[in-house]
Structure 1
Amino acid sequence: MALTKLCALLSVVLVLSSSTSVQGLVHYPPANTSITDLTAVLNGHGAPGIYNTSHTPDDEYGIYNWCNMPHVRKTEYKVPSKEYSLKYLEVIQRHRKRTPYASNTFFKEDITWDCTDEGPYHYAKDKSKFKTTPIYWQAETGTQNPFEYTVGPGFVNSTCQFPDITSEGLEDSKQHGQDFRGVYGDLLQFLPLSWEKNKYQFRVTNNVITTQTLSGFAAGIYPDVDEYFAYIQSDSYDSLEPALSCSLAETVVGTYQGPNTTWSSHLDLTSALSARFRNVSGIEPNDTAGWNTSWDHPYDNLSAKQCHSKPLPCSVNDTSICIGQEDANEIYRLGNWEYAYRWRGAENSTLYSTLIMGPWFKELQGHFKNHLANANQIKYYHNFAHDESISAVLGVLQIDEPVWPGMGSEIVFELWENTSNKTNHIRVLWRGQPLKTSTPLGTIDMLPLDTFLSYLNETIADDLVGLCASG
């Protein structure tokens, strides 16, 4: 096993040494925090934030809320000095809170989850002849189809899709849109008017939960508009989800998430917690579906329930055996540590992040270039994505205090012009405030655009297709 790891690491080193396009990449370790310090995670107490409500008290706004992450709002927004004028705005955010993925549900859950009358909607639009009838899906169970009973029922007799943005998630998304309009519309007078559709653009992934999130957000930002089109790339090369084929990325992550690594050690150190979780969930010790290789599946299962005010699970075989809140809190701490380690803590994590979201950054750079060249009229571009999308973007920028991006996590790229000397500057907002990085860039707050672009050019390979294939 050690030899396999050494060979994989050597492969990464050889690729880097043979490619001049990534020689400027430097990994700057993140700050030592209660999230990134594994000892603190294992010996800690409590959850690393809010997990049981979308509401964050105003006097605490900005703290970590997994159910509804902080975003730009007028109350906390810092308007730059008067010599700066906002020219272009691009956002990438995670979808809103949802039911868990089917792969993250137990074979049989001890509670129900009902989505009656919630959708999701799936219907076609006729271009000119008539208005079609909206159709929404409801899961059918208890059928005579014998194959239905070869898989676990999960939430028994549920009408939900897994995953599916819930009504509460849509309400959070609408409020997000209203808050966003409050800053960039009401406060800064920058947003295009709703009918100026040549000046703004939305983009989603092939996973329908991003489109569902956009439907709520759009109702908040432009409540007078009935419908939009959203850009979507083919699922064979979607840079936003991301759904790219990159063998080198798999090689790189394997060097620090394989056997005999810090990753495998943290799983060994939490074996007692894992055993308690299996006693309730019914997951087998020899499971090969991802339950035993990280805390991702347990985290998603428990947090989705608690964000929707549902109880922590008990065993369907013995209802006296349940997941306690302290065990859930430890799982939440471990999940945050895993994301921080995967995308920022490990030495090769910056390279990994560039391989995952490098193509999207090249698109972002193209949007900046097009705007400055007056190639089109787009001034506001909004991407609806996923936690790994957000994690990789923060990984490329080398956020100083990484976390697992919660529901609705938002990164805002603001392009400003200094009207006195006609220079361009970039500000990046995370959780509503300028992003602090571990790099020499420091906090990205009115950073010269050329400096920011130089960092990206030095960090992200020129030939990503060729580099990915080299692994």
Structure 2
Amino acid sequence: MVTFLSLLLTPLFTPSSHAAQESPHSISFYPVALNHTTYITNRTQGTHGGIYSAPVHRASDPDENDRYNYCTMPHPRPETYVAPEPVANGSVAATLVYVEYMQRHQRRTPYNLLSELQDQEYTCDDVHPHIYAAPAPDNNNPAPIPVYGQTYTDPTNPFLTDTIPGTCQYPQLTKGGILDGYRHGRDLRAVYGGNSLLSETGPSSQVWLRASSSALTQGSAGAVLRGLWPDYNGGIALRRQTEGIDTVDSGFTCAARERMLEQMKAARVWREHLGVTMVLREELGEMFDISEEEEDGAWMNSFDHFADAFQARVCNGYGLPCRAKKEGEKEGENCVTQEQAEEVFRAGDWEWNYWFRGSDLAKEYIQLVGGLFIGEIVRRLEGVVEGRPDWVYSHTFMHDGDLGPVLGALGIRALRWPGMGANVAVEVWRTDGEGFYARVLYSGRTVETIHGTMEWMPLGELLEILGGFVPGDIVSMCED
């Protein structure tokens, strides 16, 4: 019987011929060994060609080869963007009629704090997170003062040891992340603004913009949209669903989703990955006084927390964390090493690939986590085919946990953790007399999947692939 896992492990190319054809971008995005736990422990892998660094307080410079960059993932940009191959070589006449664009928020401070034993400050004085509301435009009402938050600490607060010293909220966008967003938007304007999809002056009624209820996605939207429309002075409606029923960011309650995750973590291969990383986890746990019981084992039973804590530092110009010096210790005696961090990052990649590609339960898990949002994508694409498109450009600001299911549903050949600003663009092209064709880009390049490279495919085929991940009755599934 052909299983989801066997499809995943079936190579599309032999290793030798594939390596000869691949660019640095492709090599860094699609590790051949990612389905095996040896990927985690093989120190010669390093970061597998990926980048885990970014400058302080400024935008990241684009990488010439658009390699995997956790801190600032590549995106469509004019220097590298070309039309689909049949269009570019003139064998097909086609017009771009719709773009479905999804992106993770830009770089930020951490969710998970190695707080009580850290003494390195984390500063955010150069970011003004605005926190005010305004009535709909009305000549009879004054505009509110643009109030913004400024974090401080009171030295008499007895709980100061429970947080990282500094002037940040956790998590929040950093200045570098905001400036990355401006560049992201400017590049999208250069790629998609030269046709009827995006007006030069501002968003039209045929543009759909959406974010999760998180300040991270909403703040990223403000930066990216300023890049899209640099001279626009009006307000822009950023749609968001009601908290508690949101179809992104796991916004609705689903007990089955949590049970499914526990089943996946009970599998032999998950336990194997914990076994091969036992020494690393024990070293980090001892360094930062973290036990199996802390936060129900979240720090020690997955690499989500350690990876987040490390990434949020190196992605904003800080060094890897050190434990505050205790009496009798030398300065810097207990610091995370580069080798330890790289193994944590590889383990994080392995876990994401397992959840959304490698596990025998991946398809069902994708349906529970992202199936409703995938259904929204499918309906918008169907509207284009049926000649009743509501929009020509849709842009959703979301999270890594939303992009993972989408990439898993597409059948991406290998899924590394979707980094900051990671993005998927579904382009729909109308041909002369042949119907609609799709191209799918991941972080600016055509995505490589178990179905082949999605450079030029009948839109109906893409709809069939995605449709298999749309749940029939999510309410019943979540209750079971």
TM-score class, shorter-chain normalisation, is 0.7 to 0.9
- What are the superposed Cα offsets for residues 260-293 of structure 1, whole Å, 9 maximum, x if unpaired? 6221222222222122212332323432341111
Contact kept in structure 1, 2:409 and 2:465, CA below 8 Å: no
Q: Distance in 1 between the 2:404 and 2:62 partners?
A: 26
What secondary structure, in the 3-state scheme, does the structure 1 residue paired with 2:205 have? coil
Counterpart selection for 1:73 from 72, 77, 81: 77
Cα gap change, 1:168/1:217 in structure 2, threshold over 3 Å: closer, same or farther?
A: same
Aligned to 1:457: 467
Q: TM-score, normalized by length of structure 1? A: 0.87
Structure 2 residue aligned with 1:42: 41
| d(CA) in 2 for partners of 1:386, 1:284 | 28
Counterpart CA distance in 2 for 1:149 and 1:47 is 40
Name 2:158's counterpart in structure 1: 149
The corresponding residue for 1:135 is 147
Partner of 1:84: 94
Specify the code of the residue in structure 1 equivalent to 2:47: A
Matches within 5 A, 1:365-444: 365-375=378-388, 377-419=390-432, 421-438=433-450, 441-444=451-454
2:331 paired with 1:330: no
With over 3 angstroms needed to count, the CA separation of the structure-2 counterparts of 1:124 and 1:458, relative to structure 1, is closer
Q: Conserved in 2, the CA contact under 8 Å of 1:180 and 1:221?
A: yes
**1:334-349 alignment, distance < 5 Å:** 334-349=347-362
Aligned equivalents of 2:62, 2:100: Cα separation in 1 = 28
Query: What is the CA–CA distance in structure 2 between the aligned matches of 1:169 and 1:96, rounded to whole Å?
Result: 5
The Cα RMSD (Å) is 2.3
Distance of 1:342 and 1:248 partners within structure 2 = 15
Q: Structure 1 residues 375, 327: closer, same or farther in 2, change over 3 A? A: same
Is the CA contact (8 Å cut-off) linking 1:191 and 1:380 kept in structure 2? yes
Q: C-alpha displacement at 1:213, in angstroms?
A: 0.5
Distance (Å, rounded) in 2 between the aligned partners of 1:151 and 1:396: 44
Give the TM-score taking structure 2 as reference length. 0.85
Deviation of 1:97 (Å):
0.3
Matches of 2:395 and 2:460, distance apart in 1: 23
Q: Is 1:234 aligned to 2:242, yes or no?
A: yes
CA distance in 2, matches of 1:288, 1:58: 38
* Counterpart contact for 1:52–1:307, Cα < 8 Å: yes
Residue identity opposite 1:296 in structure 2? D
- Corresponding residue for residue 14 of structure 2: none
Shift of 1:25: 9.1
* 1:380–1:411 distance in 2 versus 1, CA, 3 Å: same
**1:126 aligned onto 2:130:** no
C-alpha distance in 2 between matches for 1:94 and 1:268: 31
Alpha-carbon separation, structure 2, partners of 1:297 and 1:26: 28
Which residue in 1 is equivalent to 2:125? 116
CA distance in 2, matches of 1:198, 1:285: 52
Partner of 1:97: 107
Deviation at 1:373, TM superposition (A): 4.4
Question: For 1:51-96, what per-residue CA distance to the aligned partner results, in whole angstroms no more than 9, with x for missing partners?
Answer: 11264664322x1101111111122212131511111111111000
1:456 Cα offset (Å): 2.7
In structure 1, give the amino acid aligned to 2:81: Y
Deviations for 1:121-176, whole angstroms, at most 9, x for unmatched residues?
A: 111113322121111112242265xxx535743212x2211000100000001000
Matched letter for residue 65 of structure 2: E
1:332 CA displacement: 0.9
Letter in 1 for 2:210: R
Distance 1:57 1:171 in 2: 13
The amino acid that maps onto 1:65 is N
- 2:168 aligns with 160
Q: How far, CA to CA, are the matches of 2:32 and 2:277 in structure 1?
A: 20
Distance in 2, matches of 1:236 and 1:306, equals 33
Task: Identify the residue that residue 29 of structure 1 maps to in structure 2.
Answer: 8
Match of 2:15 in 1: none
Matched position secondary structure for 2:438: strand
Judge conservation of contact 1:25–1:458 (CA < 8 Å) in 2: no
SS of aligned partner of 2:460: helix
* Alpha-carbon offset, residue 459 of structure 1: 3.9
Structure 1 contact 192–200 (Cα < 8 Å) conserved: no
**2:217 and 2:40 mapped to 1: Cα distance?**
31
Conservation of the 8 A alpha-carbon contact between 2:123 and 2:168: yes
* Alpha-carbon distance between aligned partners in 2 of 1:109 and 1:89, rounded to the nearest angstrom: 45
Percent of aligned pairs with the same amino acid: 28
How far apart, in 2, do the equivalents of 1:161 and 1:272 lie?
Answer: 32
Separation in 2, partners of 1:452, 1:95:
26
Which residue does the alignment assign to 1:207?
Answer: 214
Distance 1:216 1:268 in 2: 42
Provide the secondary structure at the position in 2 that maps to 1:59. Answer: coil
- Is there any run of 5+ residues in structure 2 with no aligned partner, and where? 12-30
Shift of residue 427 of structure 1? Answer: 1.2
Post-superposition CA distance 1:286-323 (Å, at most 9, x none): 32341111111111111111111111122212431211
Amino acid aligned to 1:70: P
Q: Alpha carbons of 1:211 and 1:25: their partners in 2 closer, same or farther (altered >3 Å)?
A: farther
**Deviation, structure 1 residue 365:** 1.7
CA contact (8 A) 1:123 1:134 kept: yes
